């Protein structure tokens, strides 16, 4: 079963149709690179996956669970948009690294990593306490051993959480900072870091939430050329440790090396999809050919398209 299954995603803003039916799927541990000229709808697609926008049509399923159905959302009495609790739960399947980092400027690197998960942990612990009390009550009523086992199983699901305690969370945050090579910057503020370092913090911050699928929206576009390498290196290492990722990027070479699949988008549709070899070496569509030619010219410096 695919970890992510996206079917028929459509999205319009007013009268402009930005996504015109996007289908793709992603296996666990795979990396998909999404390329395409600007305005083709790549950001909008990622935002739909992270529920920052709500697709008008289409479905999103993660590990077989239907997370979103545009048709159902249209007629739903209580829209997902307005159901804060459910929305947060669904969002946590995904992580998103923004083009311009969006770190919290008033928090240290470590605090940036810890803020969301520690708030999450606190509310999880409260919920667990409530659930345990309920379970005890239910257990007292239960007579047979089988019933008790059943009850325990039922509540185990409710008590489950990402981190056992604050200690474990902190350890994970430290380990993650080590992975992105910034453990010695843990007490610095974002403004004291270079763009590349800031983006690596943003990646670490997303990782600590343990997303099933990590999305990147042009993670190196806001960086000076000499700083893109360090960020791409981190993403490469994540691939080696089997992180499932969707990377929107203009770095063609990177896409070719790292991605298992490449999607070329134009005007809200997937024009071309396949292995890097298929897309880069044997593109079938004229648009894809033209795009790739212009990009490789740009890379050679003969052309300066966007």
Partner 1 sequence: MSFSEVTLQLLNGFGTTCLLFILTLVFAIPLGLIISFGSMTKFKPLRYLTRGFVWIIRGTPLMLQLFVVFYVPGMLFDTPIFATIENGRFVAALIAFVINYACYFSEIYRGGIESISKGQYEACAVLGMTKGQTFFHVVLPQVVKRIIPPMSNEIITLVKDTSLARVISVIDIVFAAETILSLRALMWPLFYAGAFYLVFNGLLTLLFGFVEKKMDYYKV
Nearer to partner 1, 208 or 262 (CB): 208
| Residues 25-44 within binding reach of partner 1 (CB under 8 A) | none
**104 HSE (CA, 13 A, CB side):** 13
Q: Does 219 bind ligand ADP (CB under 6 A)?
A: no
Query: Which of ligand ADP, Mg ion, partner 1, none lies near 196, with the C-beta cut-off 5 to 8 A by kind?
Result: none
40 binds Mg ion (CB under 5 A): no
Site size with partner 1, rule: CB under 8 A: 29
- Residue 88 binding partner per list Mg ion, partner 1, ligand ADP, none, with a CB distance cut-off of 5 to 8 Å that depends on partner kind: partner 1
| Of positions 4, 5, 33, 43, contacts Mg ion by CB under 5 A | 43
Helix (H) or strand (E) holding 216: strand 213-217
Each residue 3-42 as x (binds ligand ADP by CB under 6 A) or -, in order, gives: ----------x----x-----------------x-xxxxx
Minimum CB distance to partner 1 smaller for 159 or for 209: 209
For tokens 């070479």, what's the residue? 253
Q: What are the CA-CA distances from residue 176 to residues 26, 69, 102 (Å)?
A: 24, 34, 18
Among 102, 187, 194, 297, binds partner 1 (CB under 8 A): 102
CA distances from 99 to 143, 184, 237, 270 (A): 57, 24, 19, 22
If binding is defined by CB under 8 A, does position 4 make contact with partner 1? Answer: no
How many of the other CB atoms lie within 10 Å of CB of 149?
A: 11
Which letter does DSSP use for residue 303 in this model? -
Q: What character string, x for contact with partner 1 (CB under 8 A) and - otherwise, covers 178-207? A: -----------xxx-------------xx-
Nearest CA among 237, 238, 200, 240 for reference residue 219: 200
* Phi, psi (deg, nearest 5) at residue 28: -60, 135
> Residue 267: left (phi > 0), alpha (psi -120 to 50), or beta?
left
CA distance 15 to 18: 9
Question: Least separation, in Å, of the C-beta of 92 and partner 1?
Answer: 5
* Per CB under 8 A, 160 contacts partner 1: no
Beta carbon of residue 226, minimum distance to partner 1 (angstroms, whole number): 23
Q: Using the rule CB under 6 A, is 44 a contact of ligand ADP?
A: yes
CA 213 to chain centre: 5
Contact residues for ligand ADP, defined by CB under 6 A: 13, 18, 36, 38-44
């Amino acid at each position: 079963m695919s970890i992510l299954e996206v079917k028929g995603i459509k999205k319009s803003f007013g009268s402009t149709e930005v996504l015109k039916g996007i289908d793709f799927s992603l296996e666990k541990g795979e990396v998909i690179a999404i390329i395409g000229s600007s305005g083709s709808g790549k950001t909008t697609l990622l935002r739909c996956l992270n529920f920052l926008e709500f697709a008008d049509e289409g479905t999103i399923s993660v590990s077989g669970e239907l997370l979103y159905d545009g048709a159902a959302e249209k007629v739903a009495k209580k829209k997902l948009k307005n159901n804060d609790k459910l929305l947060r739960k669904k969002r946590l399947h995904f992580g998103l690294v923004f083009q311009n980092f969006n770190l919290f400027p008033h928090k240290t690197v470590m605090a940036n990593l810890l803020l969301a998960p520690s708030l999450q942990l606190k509310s999880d612990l409260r919920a667990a306490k409530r659930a345990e009390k309920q379970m005890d009550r239910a257990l007292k009523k239960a007579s047979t051993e089988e019933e008790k086992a059943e009850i325990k199983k039922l509540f185990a699901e409710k008590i489950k959480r990402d981190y056992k305690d604050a200690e474990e969370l902190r350890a994970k945050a430290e380990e993650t900072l080590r992975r992105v090579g910034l453990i010695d910057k843990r007490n610095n503020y974002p403004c004291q870091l270079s763009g590349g370092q800031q983006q690596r913090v943003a990646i670490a911050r997303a990782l600590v939430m343990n997303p099933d699928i990590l999305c990147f929206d042009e993670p190196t576009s806001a960086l000076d050329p000499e700083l893109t390498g360090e960020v791409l290196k981190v993403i490469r290492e994540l691939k080696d440790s089997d992180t499932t990722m969707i990377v929107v990027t203009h770095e063609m070479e990177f896409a070719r090396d790292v991605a298992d699949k490449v999607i070329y988008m134009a005007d809200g549709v997937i024009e071309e999809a396949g292995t890097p070899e298929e897309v880069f070496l044997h593109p079938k569509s004229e648009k894809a050919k033209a795009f790739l030619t212009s990009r490789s010219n740009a890379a050679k410096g003969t052309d300066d398209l966007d």
